Amino acid sequence: MSNRTERYQKLCLEESLSRIYQYPIACKELSFILRGAYANLPKPLQSLVFQHTLTAIRLLPEMQTGSAVAAAHFLLQSAEAAFPKQKKSLVVTEFKQAKVAHKRRSKAHREEKGPSQLPQDVLVHIFCLLDLQSLISAGLVCRHLFKEINVQ
């Protein structure tokens, strides 16, 4: 095993990619490697970097933060700049699929949660503290709340 490969493996990028809180950092590190050193790496190490890039993109749907999406997009841009045509098209296809899966997953997660609402007694208390102009403005925005309050 070459010195470069050992140094690359010491970065533990594959393990970092699987951790939600380290995913953005690992993607950025991988992006910098792609932009700065990929062309000069030996073929086995290029293959390993490519596999880690695909792994990072495939893990995107499991990530829950905007910084993870931004880091994955930065990784995609670096991959487009560094990889040859065939590998580039594979990465782009994987990214598109991962992005769709991420959006579907986050949408399903939001629908699962449902709209977050304050208890009605808290809303009544808040609206009692508002002046008339603020109360009218709030009424224009959330008319259904006032209908519920008027019923009581």
pLDDT tens-digit map of 64-120: 888 899 999 999 999 999 999 999 999 999 999 999 998 888 777 665 555 556 666
* One domain, residues 72 and 24: yes
Both tokens of 94, joined, read: 């994987």
Side chain identity, residue 143: R
pTM strictly above 0.75:
no
* One domain, residues 8 and 75: yes
* One domain, residues 102 and 136: no
For the chain, give me the number of helices (H) and strands (E)? Answer: 9, 0
Class of residue 110 by CB neighbours under 10 A (exposed 0-12, middle 13-18, buried 19+): exposed
* One domain, residues 109 and 125: no
pLDDT at 146 over 60: no
Does residue 25 or residue 148 have the better pLDDT? 25
* One domain, residues 102 and 141: no
pLDDT-derived band at 127, boundaries 50, 70, 90 = confident
pLDDT at 125: 76
* One domain, residues 63 and 132: no
Give the whole-angstrom CA distance, residue 29 versus residue 82: 14
* One domain, residues 68 and 91: yes
* One domain, residues 83 and 13: yes
- 80 close to 53: Cβ distance less than 8 angstroms: no
- 108 close to 130: Cβ distance less than 8 angstroms: no
Does residue 59 or residue 152 have the better pLDDT? 59
* One domain, residues 34 and 109: yes
pLDDT at 134 over 70: yes
* One domain, residues 70 and 135: no
* One domain, residues 109 and 131: no
Does residue 147 or residue 105 have the better pLDDT? 105
Domain span including residue 127 = 120-151
Q: Count structural domains, the chain.
A: 2
